[in-house]
Each structure stands twice: as structure tokens, then as C-alpha cells.
């Protein structure tokens, strides 16, 4: 007796021979199954059942404050550049393994983008950091203007019809958060100018 065929989510893609990926949830076991998952899920902060992007951004803020005494501009630039490259790689693998091009559990994009914001607004007191946090969360969640455009690039990918979409997933995941970081920095700069 043969096994039943796996559920097909797109019949046309099935006929074309494009493999289907069924969505998989991020769990503690999934987090620890591959180093890419651990990085992409923000060292576990992406497992938050409520607002994982906010949890990842909060984790980034705490990590930034904890690392700050040992860091200088060169170290921050190196850490952010390295995390961008490794985060893109990790996001691609994790998205593919989850079967979703831009899963909400992937938060390394929030982490690296918010590190960039905090690094570029430093020196900043708690009020300015909180303002940067609120602005970044607004731009990342609401996706106005250019952030929405960047986010749409990732969502235009069609994994069912384009097997190469999985290779582009990590870049798409990272892009909208970097644009949100840029918008945040512009708003903080305007706030400082008018203060």
C-alpha cells in the first residue's frame, strides 16, 4: 500500500514539478536544530508568541546596552556588517526550513537594524533611545512609504513558481528593516534639529 501524497498547496506548481514547502512553526527544538535558526530567531527572542518583532528589537536594545562598554565605532561597524551578512544567510536557511518566505519569528533583521540605529544615534540618553525604539517599531510594523515598498519586494517572490525565491529570501527579509532604520534615523535627526 502506497503512502498518501503530501498536501499540495498550489496545483499548478505541482503540475510544473515545483516542490511545495508546508509551513513549519518555530519552536525551541527548531531554534536549536541549526545554528542559522538560532541566529535568525534572535537567540530565541523570535519565539515570543506575541509581537516577535518587538521582542527581537527589545533584545537588540538590551544587547546593545550590555555590549556598549566594550565597543567602539570600529567594533560596532564590524559587528553590524558581520551580522548583516550572517543574518541574511541565516534568514534564508530558516525561511526555507519553515516553508515561509518571511516568517514573523525571524527577527535578526530587527536586531541588526536597531543596532545600526542605536550606534548612529549614540551618544543618546534613555529618552532618545526610547524615541528611536518607538519610531523603529512604528516604521517596521506599519511599513509606511519606502518601508512598504521594500517589504513588497520580498512578498513579490513566489516560492511556488520560482525555486530561486528561497535564495533571495534573506535579502528581502533584511531590506525592509534597513529602510525602517533609515527612516528612524531621519526622524531622530529631525527631532534633534528642532529640539
Residue of higher predicted confidence among 112 and 153: 112
Question: Which pLDDT value is given to residue 2?
Answer: 40
User: Mean pLDDT, to the nearest integer, of 106-130?
Assistant: 96
User: Mean pLDDT, to the nearest integer, of 116-123?
Assistant: 96
pLDDT, one tens digit per residue, over 12-34 is 444 344 445 557 889 999 999 99
- Of the pLDDT bands very low, low, confident and very high (cuts 50, 70, 90), residue 5 is very low
Confidence check: pLDDT of 10 > 50: no
User: Mean pLDDT, to the nearest integer, of 57-73?
Assistant: 97
pLDDT, one tens digit per residue, over 133-180 is 999 999 999 999 999 888 887 666 666 666 677 777 888 899 999 999
Confidence check: pLDDT of 45 > 90: yes
Cα separation of 133 and 56, whole Å? 11
Question: Which pLDDT value is given to residue 132?
Answer: 97
Question: Which pLDDT value is given to residue 131?
Answer: 95
And the C-alpha cell for 60?
Answer: 537588540
pTM: 0.85
Query: CA geometry: angle at 127 spanning 125 and 129, to 5°?
Result: 70
Quick one: how far is CA 168 from the chain centroid? 13
Question: Which pLDDT value is given to residue 78?
Answer: 98
Judge contact between 114 and 126, C-beta under 8 A.
no
Judge contact between 139 and 147, C-beta under 8 A.
yes
Question: Which pLDDT value is given to residue 4?
Answer: 38
CB-side neighbour CA atoms (13 Å) of 166: 16
Q: What is the mean pLDDT of the chain?
A: 86
Amino acid at each position: 500500500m502506497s503512502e498518501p501524497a503530501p498536501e499540495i498547496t498550489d496545483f499548478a506548481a505541482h503540475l510544473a514539478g515545483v516542490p511545495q514547502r508546508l509551513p513549519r512553526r518555530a519552536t525551541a527544538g527548531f531554534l536549536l536544530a541549526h545554528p542559522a535558526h538560532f541566529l535568525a530567531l534572535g537567540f530565541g527572542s523570535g519565539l515570543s508568541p506575541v509581537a516577535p518583532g518587538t521582542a527581537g528589537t527589545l533584545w537588540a536594545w538590551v544587547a546593545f546596552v550590555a555590549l556598549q562598554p566594550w565597543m567602539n565605532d570600529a567594533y560596532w561597524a564590524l559587528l553590524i556588517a558581520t551580522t548583516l551578512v550572517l543574518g541574511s544567510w541565516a534568514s534564508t536557511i530558516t525561511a526555507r526550513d519553515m516553508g515561509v518566505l518571511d516568517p514573523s519569528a525571524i527577527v535578526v533583521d530587527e536586531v541588526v537594524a536597531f543596532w545600526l540605529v542605536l550606534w548612529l544615534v549614540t551618544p543618546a540618553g534613555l529618552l532618545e533611545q526610547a524615541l528611536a525604539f518607538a519610531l523603529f517599531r512604528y516604521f517596521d510594523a506599519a511599513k509606511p512609504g519606502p518601508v512598504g515598498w521594500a517589504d513588497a519586494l520580498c512578498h513579490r517572490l513566489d516560492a511556488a513558481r520560482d525555486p530561486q525565491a528561497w535564495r533571495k529570501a534573506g535579502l528581502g527579509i533584511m531590506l525592509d528593516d534597513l529602510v525602517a532604520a533609515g527612516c528612524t534615523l531621519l526622524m531622530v535627526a529631525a527631532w534633534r534639529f528642532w529640539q
